Chain A
């Protein structure tokens, strides 16, 4: 039953089952995740360089990248700002309904994206509660990049709040006391003592929220209107190409997006390591 995995060498341990559990883990990981992803890259390589470049740089595709990137960036920035306030209030203050608000922060994780999508579209359409107020004022939300951004704010918010909450909880009050006794105002203490300490967590939250927004589909398609060149996000374009049996075109966009996801994953891992290191240094 003992399997040998070349690189993976185990140290001596009296606990049984290494071969069985590691064998199944590698097998299942390979067939479900690794082989399909390798297949995607293989498909891209079989296209040839020129065709790949053509498929990833035509106007419609580039317009979708720009839209996806910009709306995701704005949504992540807005989430970082409000997420900071929400996390601070949930950790530091007591107020009516705090526990409910704390629990509801996870709603976007738990609610299926299609449901979020139709609910937001209904709310911001010209008959909806928010649309009724905003449209006469000249703000059209549905079928515009603003609508896409709102959907992306919705799905990205928990990442910022849930990353910042533990960082705020672990703050040492001595530092704030020291800062206050040296004559700093509360704002100076926040800006010069608290913010630098939680900065890695803040950046991690921003990056997680941004990465999630880049790949989002369900909550966006309903509110976006999906007009080519205007409100067509990259994930939707993959599906459109697929429906036209343009596998090469879909593959090219998917590979570019996957590479961006991998870069984001790497960045987030580095940020989390930085964050952990900083925490370790403070313990000393």
Chain B
């Protein structure tokens, strides 16, 4: 198959059409994406560098940063273990109902973040299904940290699995079978054969999962209760500061999240290249 790169220039549009299209695309991306990104930093430093750093000298902001890290530190590893298990089960075996299972794993992406939080309120809230039992046993999930963690797990649920399933399906079972034949145990096979093959895809999934876990707003907003210093994550603290007209502080906290986003994009860009290379290598080996 011939791709565009081999084509002759006769296949191209005239110079001024190209210029018009590129101009439109660049202008659209500048207005819609780049300017909003720049605004975050400009607003954060509007009252100077000192005011920017003073924003972080606040107990509630520091608590919010801490809670964001705790939440991600619980949610990401759990979804990592799940993602590896699910893609192993899906890629290494054939069974009835596989495509249904893949659809169900993707389901949280289709559900509105607000509904993702709301379902846990229905289960664990004071009026919820387990509400009475939880109150009797003095366990609080909604308007407390466990609820925030649960909602975060829900919205970041598919990330790792979704990266690994196609990668592991592409790789097949041959290398694992060889390792097993040579006497390796199941876990040895996974750690010494499978894991090196999927490591970049795995890292990619974890990074996307982490970015979303730290940045989730809608789902966490429903279950949090917005108690400053106790159940506020960084995005929720941004909302509170903004609604208190404390714009410099709101944007200062936002810059941390924006830097995380840019860092994620950079890593994504690098890893995409590595994963594509791994896949291409697999295809030429075949």
Chain A positions near chain B (C-beta within 8 angstroms): 7-11, 13-18, 20-22, 24-25, 28-29, 32-37, 39-40, 43, 82, 85-86, 88-93, 95, 97, 101, 103-116, 118-120, 122-123, 128-130, 153-154, 157, 169-174, 176-177, 180, 186, 211, 214-218, 222, 235, 238-239, 242, 245, 247, 250-251, 254, 257-258, 261-262, 264-265, 269
Assess the B2–A174 pair: CB atoms within 8 A: yes
On chain B, the residues within 8 Å of A105 by CB distance are 29, 33
On chain B, the residues within 8 Å of A218 by CB distance are 113, 217-218, 221, 235
* Minimum CB–CB distance for A279 against chain B, Å: 11
Q: List B65-83 residues whose CB lies under 8 Å from chain A.
A: 78, 81-82
Known: A36-B119, A107-B33, A235-B218. A82 touches B25 (CB 8 A): yes
* Minimum CB–CB distance for B261 against chain A, Å: 4
Assess the B104–A34 pair: CB atoms within 8 A: yes
**Closest residue on chain A to residue B237 by CB atoms:** A114
**Closest residue on chain B to residue A15 by CB atoms:** B92
On chain A, the residues within 8 Å of B268 by CB distance are 103, 106, 110
Assess the A32–B32 pair: CB atoms within 8 A: no
**Closest residue on chain B to residue A172 by CB atoms:** B1
Assess the B95–A11 pair: CB atoms within 8 A: yes
Supply 8 A–B pairs (Cβ within 8 Å), ascending by A: A13-B173, A17-B92, A32-B150, A33-B157, A113-B113, A222-B242, A235-B114, A257-B115
Report the Cα distance A36→B235, complex, angstroms. Answer: 24
Assess the A172–B32 pair: CB atoms within 8 A: no
User: Residue among A11, A107, A110 with the most chain B CB within 10 A?
Assistant: A110
**Closest residue on chain A to residue B261 by CB atoms:** A110
If over half of B's interface residues share one DSSP class (helix, strand or loop), that class is named, otherwise mixed; here it is helix
Known: A16-B180, A247-B122. A93 touches B112 (CB 8 A): no
Known: A21-B89, A218-B235. A120 touches B111 (CB 8 A): no
Report the Cα distance A32→B219, complex, angstroms. Answer: 14
Q: List B192-224 residues whose CB lies under 8 Å from chain A.
A: 208, 211, 214-218, 221-222
**Closest residue on chain B to residue A254 by CB atoms:** B115
* Minimum CB–CB distance for A142 against chain B, Å: 13
Assess the A180–B11 pair: CB atoms within 8 A: yes
On chain A, the residues within 8 Å of B1 by CB distance are 172
Report the Cα distance A218→B217, complex, angstroms. Answer: 6
Known: A24-B82, A114-B239, A215-B113. A15 touches B7 (CB 8 A): no
Assess the B119–A40 pair: CB atoms within 8 A: yes
4 nearest interchain CB pairs? A215-B112, A112-B215, A36-B119, A218-B217
Known: A16-B180, A32-B153. A261 touches B122 (CB 8 A): no
On chain A, the residues within 8 Å of B3 by CB distance are 169-173
Known: A93-B18, A129-B35. A215 touches B111 (CB 8 A): yes
Assess the B257–A238 pair: CB atoms within 8 A: no
Assess the B94–A11 pair: CB atoms within 8 A: yes
Known: A9-B96, A123-B35, A173-B3. A110 touches B11 (CB 8 A): no
Assess the A173–B2 pair: CB atoms within 8 A: yes
**Interface residue stretch chosen among B36-44, B53-61, B278-286:** B36-44
On chain B, the residues within 8 Å of A15 by CB distance are 92-93, 173, 176-177, 180, 186, 189
Assess the A111–B258 pair: CB atoms within 8 A: yes
> Beyond the given A86-B29, A110-B264, could you list 10 further A-B residue pairs with CB under 8 A, ordered by the A residue number?
A11-B93, A21-B88, A28-B82, A85-B21, A109-B208, A154-B36, A173-B6, A173-B7, A245-B127, A254-B114
On chain A, the residues within 8 Å of B121 by CB distance are 242, 247
Assess the B14–A85 pair: CB atoms within 8 A: no
Q: List B151-200 residues whose CB lies under 8 Å from chain A.
A: 153-154, 157, 173, 176-177, 180, 186, 189-190
